[in-house]
Structure 1
Amino acid sequence: MDFLTTVLLLLVGVGGGAALANALRSRSGVTNVRHESTLLLERIEKVFKVVMAEGYFSEIYNYQDQKKILYLLNDPKKAMVIAKSKVLVGFDFSKVRIRPSENGEKKLIIEAFPKPEVLSIDTDYKFYDIQAGILNHFSGADYTQILDEAKRAMNERALQSDLPKIANNQIQYMMYQLASSMGWQLQLPEAEQRQLDVLKAQADNTTNYKQLTTGE
């Protein structure tokens, strides 16, 4: 038996063995799936962020991209994404500027207070009605762009809702109560102070009404 014949027999044997193994694997229903993941920790930062409001949103996002074939024919691709999100709104206290009163009073003067911001968005995405074009196909970059745009839309919707106002009212009244419990006065910037005075008046009216109705 010459060398060429030996090589051909070996190749046939290897091919037949692989075919037999695949047939047995498919018949037994056993698949060999491997999952690998790598976790990289880039950095750790100390933060002082407080969540004061939580909201749940649903968003339907329609994506469409037009592409010309030979500058004549439209080759569109489109997809519909349904996103359900939990949005947390609160404050970054590292941006607060606060000082005690200079005349010896037990008063905390807040010179600057940050606006409420979206601290996190936890979103579940589902794709529906994905239609690729003839040559205009979806790529991984397209899906990333769709998810980024849907998340930005959810962020804008949350900021346009009542969540920032609720968070602002919550933090102002909480700080007022905390300072009062320790015998301190709280002085906010002018606009925030007016808002706090309104909240205190509403709280006092609610307390007085409860006392009148319960006879306490």
Structure 2
Amino acid sequence: MEASTLVFLMISLVAGGLAGSTLTGWLQKRKTKKYVSAQEATVLIERIEKVFKVVMAEGYFTEIYNYQNDKNIWNLINDKKKALIIAKAKVLVGYDFGKMKFHRPDGERRLVIDFFPAPEILSIDTDYKFYDIEQGWLNRFHSEDYTAILNEAKQTMNDKAMESDLPRIAGNQVQLMIFQLASSMNWEIELKLPDGNVAMLKEFTHYRSVEAQVDSLGTTKE
């Protein structure tokens, strides 16, 4: 075999190998991209739900949370950690109409409501900032400490929102919306609620003023 022919064959083999490697890599990347895209689409589909929730009132709350934890070491050293947390929240209160029960008498333009749900918090958008963090040599902050503090602060926001005037405002708003909508369509709304349902709804009609001032929550945990 001539030298030129041998060189040509070697170059062809190397070029073919490089081309095959490049093509294989391109195909693998393409398959990987397709697989990732399909996986992401599946995750998105799993998060889609049909809901019928309507926001009727919106409130803003601010809390100053003082956290302190004292740890006594051998009755000789009082090792403590503390932090100041300012928590702010935007609270949306409304109704989940998927929980409402009703029926329509045959041939009538009348809607009979058999059960009406209580107003509830539909979402809480929170923001937290930590200040004046101090910790001892042995008694230090860990991830579970921050999680517990934030969960407690969020629960406090939830409780204060339900104790405020937001549920009453939401109740008045939803009644106005339902009866005005029915009237505009020449429909009649009739409430036939059980006594327990009536009593439950009355709990949210008592006026409670929304506190605008900042409250301080001090806690000491051992």
TM-score by length of 2: 0.64
Q: Which residue of the partner structure matches residue 165 of structure 2?
A: 162
1:59 aligns with 2:91: no
1:172 aligns with 2:175: yes
Q: 2:188 aligns with which of 162, 185, 196?
A: 185
Instruction: Give me the whole-angstrom Cα distance separating, in 1, the residues matched to 2:147 and 2:114.
Output: 41
Identify unmatched segments of 5+ residues in structure 2. Answer: 1-39, 206-222
Residue identity opposite 1:70 in structure 2: W
Identify unmatched segments of 5+ residues in structure 1. Answer: 1-38, 199-216
Q: Which residue of the partner structure matches residue 154 of structure 2?
A: 151
Q: Which residue of the partner structure matches residue 88 of structure 2?
A: 84
Correspondences of 1:196-215 after superposition (within 5 Å): none
Aligned partner of residue 111 in structure 1, secondary structure: strand
Q: Which residue of the partner structure matches residue 74 of structure 1?
A: 78
Q: 2:141 aligns with which of 138, 150, 172?
A: 138
Q: Deviations over 1:166-216 (max 9, x none)?
A: 001100110011111111111123749x98xx9xxxxxxxxxxxxxxxxxx
Instruction: Give me the whole-angstrom Cα distance separating, in 1, the residues matched to 2:73 and 2:151.
Output: 27
Aligned partner of residue 55 in structure 2, secondary structure: strand
Residue identity opposite 1:99 in structure 2: H
Identify, as 1 or 2, the structure richer in strand.
2
**Percentage of identical aligned residues:** 61
Q: By how many angstroms is 1:78 displaced? A: 1.1
Residue identity opposite 1:123 in structure 2: T
RMSD between aligned residues: 2.4
Q: Deviations over 1:83-138 (max 9, x none)?
A: 11111001111101011135x44221111111111111111111112111231000
Q: By how many angstroms is 1:140 displaced? A: 1.3
Q: Deviations over 1:149-177 (max 9, x none)?
A: 11110010100000011001100110011
Instruction: Give me the whole-angstrom Cα distance separating, in 2, the residues matched to 1:144 and 1:119.
Output: 22
Alignment length (residue pairs):
156
Instruction: Give me the whole-angstrom Cα distance separating, in 2, the residues matched to 1:71 and 1:101.
Output: 75
Instruction: Give me the whole-angstrom Cα distance separating, in 1, the residues matched to 2:138 and 2:152.
Output: 23
Instruction: Give me the whole-angstrom Cα distance separating, in 1, the residues matched to 2:75 and 2:101.
Output: 58
Instruction: Give me the whole-angstrom Cα distance separating, in 2, the residues matched to 1:112 and 1:132.
Output: 52
Instruction: Give me the whole-angstrom Cα distance separating, in 1, the residues matched to 2:64 and 2:128.
Output: 10
List, as ranges, runs of 4+ consecutive aligned residues in structure 1 with deviation greater than 6 Å.
none
Instruction: Give me the whole-angstrom Cα distance separating, in 2, the residues matched to 1:106 and 1:122.
Output: 40
Instruction: Give me the whole-angstrom Cα distance separating, in 1, the residues matched to 2:72 and 2:156.
Output: 28
Instruction: Give me the whole-angstrom Cα distance separating, in 2, the residues matched to 1:49 and 1:106.
Output: 24
Instruction: Give me the whole-angstrom Cα distance separating, in 2, the residues matched to 1:101 and 1:168.
Output: 26
Structure 1 window deviating more from structure 2 (168-177 vs 40-49): it is 40-49
Q: 1:118 aligns with which of 114, 118, 121?
A: 121
Instruction: Give me the whole-angstrom Cα distance separating, in 1, the residues matched to 2:105 and 2:133.
Output: 62
